[in-house]
Amino acid sequence: MEPLHDDDPAEVGPYALTSRLGGGGMGQVFLGRSPGGRPVAVKLVRAEYAADDGFRRRFAAEVAAARRVGGFYTAQVVDADPDADRPWLVTAYVPGPSLQAAVTGHGPLPPAAVRTLGAGLAEGLAAVHACGLVHRDLKPGNVLLADDGPRVIDFGIVRALEAASGTRSGVIVGTVAYMAPEQARGDREIGPPADVFALGSVLAFAATGEPPFGRSPAAPVMYRIQHADPDLTGVPAELRDLIAACLAREPGDRPAVAEVLRACARRAASATGGCPPRCRP
């Protein structure tokens, strides 16, 4: 979190902005306050995208889809204006570090915490998939560690499965180190198994501090994702089979999120006498 810059707006729609939370390829994220004083996360789209009518249509569709997603492990969309001069999206504010920041600052999570993390993320993805959506960009930076469990955030890249036919073949959406082979190939059809693959990569990062196919440059990482086995060196033995299954090269060979949820929840409960630990470090 950092102070607002001189050229940042003081408000977006009815929301007063107080500080910067971060940014990404699509826009800047601010901490804001609702008219009633509730803290919210406000995502303001970059100016260069606002002039693109095609982008606006996609953004509007993604906002409509994101409003349908509920559950305990997602940050819910509470407001948006796809027609504003610079389109914006508001979600519930989740206090807590990202998984990326937590692992970078404090080191890998212990196995029991990784299992609890996996259970929460699998439940969050199940809520996304139940609405006929695919997140497509699950990564450590899009996972927040709240006191009561993880939250899957940033539905700015979520695509409705039924709209997949409108995506041109060869267009790649996602973060290279965590994308599935079918995303790296630019396949037209991207389904829930791609999120399972990303989940496996995120859990490997949580357990070791490194993504299983390396960090950069992008081209070698994309090649390894499509043709090489993941490097699970350092992944505790009790987690390795589950993570390896999620990282199967063929989408049909990966477990469903419900299977991942059952496996993580069962092992977390058995390891703690029925009371899973919080995953925040």
Active-site residues, by number, are 137
Q: Which of 118, 114, 69 is nearest to 92 (CA)?
A: 69
Separation in Å, CA 70 to CA 113, 127, 128, 136, 231: 23, 6, 8, 17, 34
DSSP state of 86: S
- Structure-token pair, residue 126: 């199940």
Helices 192-208 & 257-271, crossing angle to 10 degrees? 30
DSSP state of 108: P
CA distance 250 to 196: 11
CA distance 148 to 124: 13
